[in-house]
Chain A
Amino acid sequence: MSVVARLWQALRNTVRTLWSTVSGRYAVTVIAVWVVVSLISLVWTPYSLWQMDGYNVWAMPSAAHWMGTDGTGADVASWLMAGSRTDLVIVLLTVALSAVIGMCLVALMTLGSTWSSNATVVAVDALISIPTVLLALVLAVPFGASIAVVVVACGIGYGLNLARVVRPQALLVANSGYVESALSNGASRWRVFAQHIVPNILPVASVQLSLSAGTAILAESGLTYLGIGVPSGIPSWGRSLSLSVRLASVHPLTALWPGLVVALVVLALNLCGDVLRERSGVHHAGVASRQAASEGGENDR
């Protein structure tokens, strides 16, 4: 099977799993709407983003402006639609980056020599207490506000997290009998990693990645509000939210929408992770690794 066909199959299975529960259905629907709206916003938004109307600022929701207008008279709904694509890109890039970083760290932990795997474990533990926001601040000093700062800071932070979360499972597999026999049959370490370790940590990793996706959206809105996230002029949910917050006391209703959109989408991603965890029995992984540890085979505890 080609890689594309395999990915498609995996996606279909995931959606089918999600669809079997109520919260999963909510998650799939919201995420599908999000993707569709992002695509539509590339070619069409109700109003042009830069179409301002000085006589119609802070308008209440109406037939002409579904969500009202902001302080420049621009249409809030249009900005939110356009923002959804920026956030989609940020989420996809962040998840991809954190997956790559996480997997590299896991590879170092499971494939390398004892020294390199210990060093990786220690480095991850020391760095994990540095919060993403601080990382973003450090990056923003030289590079200023940019989407890259959000993606890199979140990608590193969540990648470290991912590595730590999948570590018990990865080590369990790496020390298992079938990996040993694969190795003694002459399989290369990379082959073992790709064929045995990755498929085994995939359930745990996918749960963690979907939670990271939600957190990335929250991070975007927070960092953008602080002026170190998405630069001004580029539509994003964080931008809409922070613009409306500054004058929320005067025009509370316009502040409602961006936050609501963010909360609904993040909830969808969190529920997605929750359902995947339930269905894959991921929460038993901890018990399994604990047993392995108490049997003395593993030094992870």
Chain B
Amino acid sequence: MRFVVRRLMLFVIALLGISILIFAAVRILPGDIASVMAGMNAPPERVQSLREQLGLDRSLVQQYTDWFSGIIRGDFGTSMLTGRSISSQIGSRASITMPLIILGLCVAMALGLPLGFMTVAAKSPRVRGALRLVGLIGGSIPALWGGLILILLFARGIGLIGILPSQGFPTQGWGSPPAAFMALILPAVSVGVIVAASLMRYVGAAVGSVASSGFIDMAMGCGMTRQQALLRVGCRLAVPQLVSVLGLTFVEMITGVMVIENLFALPGLGSGLVTDMGNRDLIAVQSELFMLASVFLIIGMAVDIAHRVLDPRLDGTDDMSTARNEENSAHANPDEQEVSQ
């Protein structure tokens, strides 16, 4: 319980810190936001009215508290470009990004979990070596290029076996689920394959570190074969680490799918953010960045707490840094950014 309270406090502090950082990043622009947003050739009156409308004539502290208290009340502001509220904009984008991430994660787990387990459990050293190499190669492919190859193979109208749509999302959104689902298949597979490679290495590392521990020897001493011991004992012991990894992977994928969303012309969170930046819709950018950052921090916290729950051995300790620690100490392999490319 004490752990949860401390982790919550840390979360609040980190959230405040991040909000100040993002606020500052938007303000330290050369020139002021209003003239940037109004455009190069805007008449001065237009800039002035925009400045008042956005409250930019007030002090920075005042602006920050206004913005932040608005967010706490759930008011993210209004997009300058579309005139829609930013929260509804985020919502409609998330309705594409979230299913994409979940589908991608399913693909990644279907490939990464068994293959990663086999990199440790396979009997033949050749198979183990080959699987490790596959993981390394998968982690070396730029997402952009991987997606491109899939497009060239399977995209309708372009690919060798043109069966799947590769550009855009149905305009009626999830109104027609089959079409929407079809539009997500290729992007999800491209993301999934790349995430699978890093997942595979994580799983290999996690199971590998358990395999060299005394628990497996003990289980084998009780009459299990190595394979049985790894499957029944090893997997359970690796679960807390894997949950941490999956949580963080999920988080990483929110920005990790940006490139893929762009490539497949899906109007998701990531590509939306890049579009808003290109359009200099800075108020929207500010709120969206904050929203994303808070999602990352929330999931980071949830992962830490879940790790605690799943690994009761940690209960006696009181250190904040506990969770998510082990996959690192076990194996110097947490190239977590892997996913983001």
Residues of A bordering B, CB below 8 Å: 23, 118, 121-122, 124-134, 137-142, 154, 157-158, 161, 164-169, 204, 207-208, 211-212, 214-215, 218-219, 221-222, 225-228, 241-242, 245, 248-249, 252, 255, 258-259, 262-264, 266-267, 270-271, 274, 277, 282-287, 289-290, 299-301
Contacts and interface: CB of A to CB of B under 8 A. Distances in A.
B332 A222 contact: no
A132 B337 contact: yes
Contacts of A131: 251-252, 254-256, 296, 336-337, 340
A-B interface, 7 closest residue pairs, ranked by CB to CB distance from nearest = A259-B145, A129-B300, A218-B341, A286-B330, A267-B140, A168-B329, A266-B140
Contact of A141 (B26, B133, B148): B26
B332 A208 contact: yes
Contacts of B18: 130
A249 B151 contact: yes
Contacts of B320: 118, 121-122, 125
A291 B57 CA distance: 60
Contact of B148 (A121, A164, A245): A245
Given A211-B335, A286-B330, A122 B10 contact: yes
A301 B289 contact: no
5 contacts: A130-B293, A140-B277, A212-B335, A222-B340, A286-B328
A51 to B, nearest CB: 26
A126 B137 CA distance: 30
A161 B335 contact: yes
B208 A283 contact: yes
A45 B252 CA distance: 38
Interface string B115-154: 0000000000000000011001101111111001101100
A211 B112 CA distance: 19
A221 B341 contact: yes
Interface stretch (B75-83, B175-183, B258-266): B258-266
Contacts of B10: 122, 125-126
B285 A141 contact: yes
B259 A222 contact: yes
A55 B29 CA distance: 43
B333 A133 contact: no
Interface in B179-230: 205, 208-209, 212-213
B321 A122 contact: yes
A210 B321 CA distance: 25
Given A222-B144, A245-B148, A263-B141, 13 more contacts: A129-B299, A129-B303, A138-B25, A207-B332, A208-B332, A215-B337, A219-B340, A248-B148, A249-B151, A259-B148, A267-B137, A270-B139, A290-B213
B143 A134 contact: no
B289 A134 contact: yes
Interface string B303-319: 11000000000100111
B22 interface: yes
A227 B278 contact: yes
A133 B328 contact: no
Interface centre among B14, B320, B329 (most CB of A within 10 A): B329
B145 to A, nearest CB: 3
B341 A215 contact: yes
A10 to B, nearest CB: 18
B333 A211 contact: yes
Which of A133, A212, A215, A258 neighbours the largest number of chain B CB atoms within 10 Å of its CB? A133
B298 to A, nearest CB: 9
Contact of B328 (A167, A219, A287): A167
Given A126-B297, A300-B321, A301-B319, A204 B332 contact: yes
Nearest to A220: B341
B155 to A, nearest CB: 7
Given A221-B142, A222-B144, A227-B278, A129 B297 contact: yes
Interface string B231-245: 000000000000000
Nearest to B311: A301
Given A134-B255, A222-B341, A245 B144 contact: yes
Contacts of B273: 137
B145 A133 contact: no
B325 interface: yes
A68 B337 CA distance: 32
B148 A134 contact: no
Contacts of B332: 165-166, 204, 207-208, 277, 282-283, 285
Given A141-B26, A263-B141, A226 B259 contact: yes
Contact of A242 (B22, B144, B270): B144
B248 interface: yes
A226 B274 contact: yes
Nearest to A109: B321
A242 to B, nearest CB: 7
Contacts of A133: 255-256, 258, 270, 340
B340 A286 contact: no
A165 B263 contact: no
A225 B262 contact: yes
Contacts of A286: 209, 326, 328-331
Contacts of A23: 133
